[in-house]
Amino acid sequence: MKAENKLSKIVKKVTLLPKGWHASALSLVFGNVIKFAGTSKIRVEKLDFAGSKLSLKNHKRVQNHIGGIHAAAMALLGESATGFLIGMHVPDNRIPLLKNMNIDYVRRAAGDLTAVATLSDEQIKHIRDTEKGDISVPVVITDSEGNEPINAEFIWAWVPKKRGS
C-alpha cells in the first residue's frame, strides 16, 4: 500500500479526470504552486509513485542567446522532475529540500527537453522510514533528437517540520 501525503492525494484526484486531461491538470496545479516552473511552462506529463516525466518546450521565454534552452532552464527541469517525485513520498510532517545539484553540460540541446526521474523501492522505503535524510534521485534529460545534453544529479534532503508549522 502506498503512503499518502498532500501531494499524492492531489495527484490521485487528477487521475480521476479523463486521461487526456491529466498532464494539463498536473501542469496547472504545479505551475501555480511552484511559480518558477509555471513561468517557464514546464509540463508534467506523468507523475506517480514510481516516477515522473516532465517536458519543456524550446520557446522564447526559456531560450539562451543561441536559441537553445538556457542552462538554468535545463537545471529547473531536472530539479522539478526529481523534486515532484520526492514530494510524492516525503510524509507531510517533513519538508523536502534540494541539498545539492551537480550538472555537467555535455552537448548543445536540440529542440525540446524531457526529464524522466525514477526511484527504486529501496529508495522509497528510505524516504518514508527515515525521519531526516537525503538521497540522490536519478534523472535522465533528453532533447528532441534523443541525446542527453546534460548529465545531472539532484540530491534531495528532508527534515522534520518544526512544531506549529
With respect to residue 1, please indicate whether it lies within any of the assigned structural domains. no
The pLDDT of residue 31 is above 90: no
pLDDT at 1: 42
Residue-range definition of the domain harbouring residue 81: 6-160
* Domains: count for the chain: 1
With respect to residue 142, please indicate whether it lies within any of the assigned structural domains. yes
With respect to residue 104, please indicate whether it lies within any of the assigned structural domains. yes
pLDDT greater at residue 136 or residue 37 = 136
Coil, strand or helix: which one is 76?
Answer: helix
With respect to residue 165, please indicate whether it lies within any of the assigned structural domains. no
pTM of the model: 0.90
Q: DSSP letter string over 5-48?
A: -HHHHHHHHHTTS-GGGHHHHHHHHHHHHSHHHHHHT-EEEEE-
With respect to residue 133, please indicate whether it lies within any of the assigned structural domains. yes
Q: What does the mean pLDDT of the chain come to?
A: 92
CB atoms inside a 10 Å sphere around CB 140: 15
> Which residues 6+ apart lie within 8 Å of 102 measured at CB?
152, 153
With respect to residue 39, please indicate whether it lies within any of the assigned structural domains. yes
CATH number at residue 23: 3.10.129.10
With respect to residue 87, please indicate whether it lies within any of the assigned structural domains. yes
